[in-house]
Amino acid sequence: VLGGAAYGVYSLVIADGDDALSADQQVIPVQLGDLINRVSTNGSLFYPTREVLTFGSQGIVAEVLVNEGDAVEEGQPLVTLDAATVVALEQAVAQARIALVDAEEAFAAAPEGYTLLQLAQAEAKVTDAKLALPDAEDAAATAIAGPTADDIAQARADVAAAVTALANEASDLSVAGKQGADDVDAAQDDLADATGAYEGVFRTWLGIELSPDETSVGPSTLLSSWDVDLEALFDRATLDSWNPRADSTPIDDPSTAWNEREVYYLLVFLPDEILATCDGVIVPPQGACVRREMDDAWDAYRGAAVALEAAQTSASKSVASAEAALTKAFDGLEDAEEALADLLGGPDALAVSAETLALTIAQGALAEAERQVAALLERAPLELQLLEARVESARLTLDLELERLDASTLRAPMAGLTTFINVAVGDTVNRNTPIVEIVDPTVVELDGVVDEIDVLFVRVGAAAEVTMDALPGAVLSATVSSIATVGINQQGVVSYPIRIRLEVPRNVSLREGLSATADIVIRRENNVVLVPLSAVTGSFDAPVIQVVSESGGVEERAVVLGNNDEFWVAVREGLSEGERVVLQGSGTSTQQFDFRQAFRQFGNLGGGGGFGGGGQRGGGGGGGGGRGN
């Protein structure tokens, strides 16, 4: 549904009037819909798959077996040459066969020679050997001369650097060990404090001394194992049942884990309010929550235990890393000392022997490569290459004559239609005279153009819909098959040729030249929140929409806009389906930002609000975009 039509439907479902609205304002409901951006192009249909046939040789037309517009099958005879021409072509084929046999026999009888490729490969080996020889000579001379004073000085510097590195790594190991021990000691102290605090909570409120095993058990488990009901235990309303005689204190019950006398004293003599549990309850400033103190002490204990474990792990890793670095430094010092000792010992006999042998091999490789080139040059390559070229030429000539003989009867290269017959019986034709053209009518394309402001949005493979005056009411599916890379400038207007391939139904036969219009989909968003552009006010960077509130008033709401089709705009954030927005009349927008102009200016570039432009445009003139639902 196009934007204008959709707005007409909206205007019929406008809610009852609102007192807060002016005369040139309307209210429309927010709905979900489909936002479709299209580019239109007009053009004519043509068959892109076509082939113009020629005989490839001179002759006289003997038969024309088809008429213009006939349907033909692949391989079907179309036009033939006269018998005299066919005989001449057959003679040419026979002569080509004889020439090929003669050339092959001459090549087989020639003495063995060499090819230019063989010579080039042999000369390349000589070049490689010459390049390798100086390197081998330098390496041998260096090995024989032994180390220089600079080499020895550098080796001594390497030893000194290795000694310094070893000392540094030993110091780092000492620091890592001390730091790790300090961190573990501090964490152990924190754990001891947290353990004492956890034990103190139970001692204070229940008179219970925790055993070492119980300090690692949470409050819920401990209270459950002791069968302690904190709510009942700290209920002051039950004090009379604790001690029937007002002039004495209760006796501790040995069958319970807690000390009744301690709890009794807390309830009687502690003036502050005592809460057993305090989930969802605010504890008075001077009050206390027994269960919260237990949980807090337990959390502190667990945190201290985890911190101790982390400190121990970190200390172990730091020491291990420092030890590995120290070992590496030891190895580096040993290597540096060995290298210095080797240099001080003078030339290395093994190195001298190896480099001398490598020099001998390089010299021998150069001599062998030069010998191979000389051996090749003793042959007769040019004569052999000439004979080989004659064989190839004779083979190509035979292939050409066979093609000409086969082409004396023109056959359809594919199933299709004959679009023109350029000869009649008795006509004399040359080798390049166009004889007949065959097209494939099942492949149909529209040849159109798009202007330069739209071409960057069109992609090969994009979906399109094609309509034609010849098929009123019919819409054919299509896809973009090609887009020109170079535009056409006509009187300052730049456009780009484009081709769109149609999906032709089986029961439809389309003819070349039919005019057609294609709507190319360049963007499609389904099921998005849509409002008319005229409902948007504010600035390009901060667009707002007036929304009718639940109380009936009108409020401005900041929104994030998406793409548009120059009538509808998608709202990414700020609106929901079912809300009502105020549509501005022409008289209310004179002082507000012109969003339509901004969309035209910026095209598909999003503004600060996140919206992009681009409606439906085309080379032949296009309308607006589309909206569904």
437-463: pLDDT as tens digits? 999 998 999 999 999 888 888 999 999
Domains of the chain: 3-38+525-627 (2.40.420.20), 50-107+393-437 (2.40.50.100), 148-346 (no CATH)
pLDDT(67) > 50 = yes
Give the mean model confidence (pLDDT) for residues 279-284.
Answer: 84
Which pLDDT value is given to residue 215? 92
CA–CA gap between residue 564 and residue 204 (Å, rounded): 71
Give helix 381-406 / helix 116-145 axis angle, nearest 10°: 140
Which pLDDT value is given to residue 343? 76
pLDDT(352) > 90 = no
pLDDT tier at 387 (50, 70, 90 boundaries)?
A: confident
SS (H, E, C) 320-376: HHHHHHHHHHHHHHHHHHHHHHHHHCCCCHHHHHHHHHHHHHHHHHHHHHHHHHHHH
Look-up of token digits 């003679």: 91
Question: To the nearest whole percent, how much of the chain has pLDDT over 70?
Answer: 86
310-346: pLDDT as tens digits? 999 999 999 999 999 999 999 999 999 888 887 777 7
Q: In Å, how far are 490, 534, 622 from 585, measured between CA atoms?
A: 40, 8, 25
Give helix 149-206 / helix 290-344 axis angle, nearest 10°: 170
Which pLDDT value is given to residue 426? 92
pLDDT(495) > 80 = yes
21-65: pLDDT as tens digits? 676 778 889 989 888 888 889 999 999 999 999 988 889 999 999
Q: Tell me which of 584 and 494 has the higher pLDDT.
A: 494
Average pLDDT, the chain: 84
Residues in the chain: 629
pTM for the full model?
0.43
Which pLDDT value is given to residue 386? 82
141-158: pLDDT as tens digits? 887 877 888 888 998 899
512-565: pLDDT as tens digits? 999 999 999 888 888 899 989 888 988 888 999 989 988 888 999 999 998 887
Question: To the nearest whole percent, how much of the chain has pLDDT over 90?
Answer: 46
